[in-house]
Amino acid sequence: MAGRCFEKAEVRVVFEAKRRQRRKEWNITENLAGYLFMAPTILVLGTFVVLPILYAVFLSLHKVKLLGGIEYDFVGIRNFSRLVEDERVWIALKNTAQYVAIVVPIQTVLALVLAVTLNSGIRGKNWWRILYFLPTVTSSAVLTLIFMWIYNTNGLLNDFLAFVRLPTYNWLGDPAVALFGIMLMNIWSTAPFYMVIYLAALQDIPQTVYEAASLDGANGWQQFIHITVPLLKPVTFFVLAVGVIGTFQLFDQSYIFSNGNGGPNNATLTVVLLIYQAVFRNLQMGYAAAIAFLLAAVIIAITFIQRQLFSNEKIG
């Protein structure tokens, strides 16, 4: 009897071992199939994202000679230490930070107001959506050229200001207002994009919430402040984060406005334009890579701060 029980136990152990082996082989097969499906994405990301980042790190630690054959001269952190001493880097950072600090809040508030207006059931809202969204689908270069015509000394904007007896400006040549001209153009052209995001989010809010608030005596403004704004907090974080990233990368409008110089008197010089000048005018690829990493660090830091602020807020 004892021998028969021992044989059954031995058979059970052998069966369990074989089952574990089959399960292990099946898991290996599943993992291999998963990696095969992921291989195209990994290849694309590795080729166009990871490798360029690693190459940029390599460039930032070298002085690169482009003429007469590419040569790399290792300089360590000298390119990064040079950032502290370069006055134009600080000017570009100041201009870009000022641009971000003004454009992002205004375009976010304007996008929310437009979305709430369109979501309120106004007549012809589909036509209003198309009209509002037209600047977003228009080429940035074309919009910049149009606004340069508007900002001309004898252009449409100055004619309007003179008509209403307000001061006129040399929008393209005055360092005090040149950057504000780009701000006005970008607020007008980018707010509709974020309006569409807000509009989609507003349509996902149940109407029963507003009906309950209305029965409790809340008016439209109270419903907006205490229901709409808190429920849109995740969308607002997304809009602000994308807005900060996009505005910090301002290049084409500044380039066209100033003919690539960042003028007048460096008033429209941005960090990305400075990177362009370092590469294509001064042929300093290593230094340009260092500036790019500075810009990336600033964007990551601000996005992290935004996330902390939004995650710490409580919906009352």
**Positions of the chain with pLDDT under 50:** 315-316
Average pLDDT, the chain: 85
Predicted local distance difference test score (pLDDT) of residue 25: 60
Distance set, CA 117 to CA 8, 124, 133, 218, 269 (Å): 77, 12, 14, 19, 36
Query: In sequence order, what DSSP letters do the residues of 216-280 get, joined into one string?
Result: TT--HHHHIIIIIHHHTHHHHHHHHHHHHHHHHT--HHHHHHHTTS--STTTT--HHHHHHHHHH
**String of b and e for 24-58 (b: at least 16 CB within 10 Å)?**
eeeeeeeeeeeeeeeeeeeeeeeeeeeeeeeebee
Read off the tokens for 28.
């290996």
Nearest to 109 by CA among 210, 219, 240, 231: 240
pLDDT at 30: 73
What amino acid is encoded at 9 in this protein?
A
Q: By three-state DSSP, how is residue 73 classified?
A: strand
What is the domain partition of the chain in residue ranges?
Answer: 2-60, 78-312
How many other C-beta atoms can be found within 10 angstroms of the C-beta atom of residue 114? 21
Is the CATH number 1.10.3720.10 carried by domain 78-312? yes
Q: List, for residues 8-29, the tens digit of each pLDDT value.
A: 555 565 556 666 666 666 667 7
Q: Tell me what pLDDT residue 152 has.
A: 87
Q: Are 75 and 63 in contact (CB under 8 A)?
A: yes
pLDDT, position 315: 43
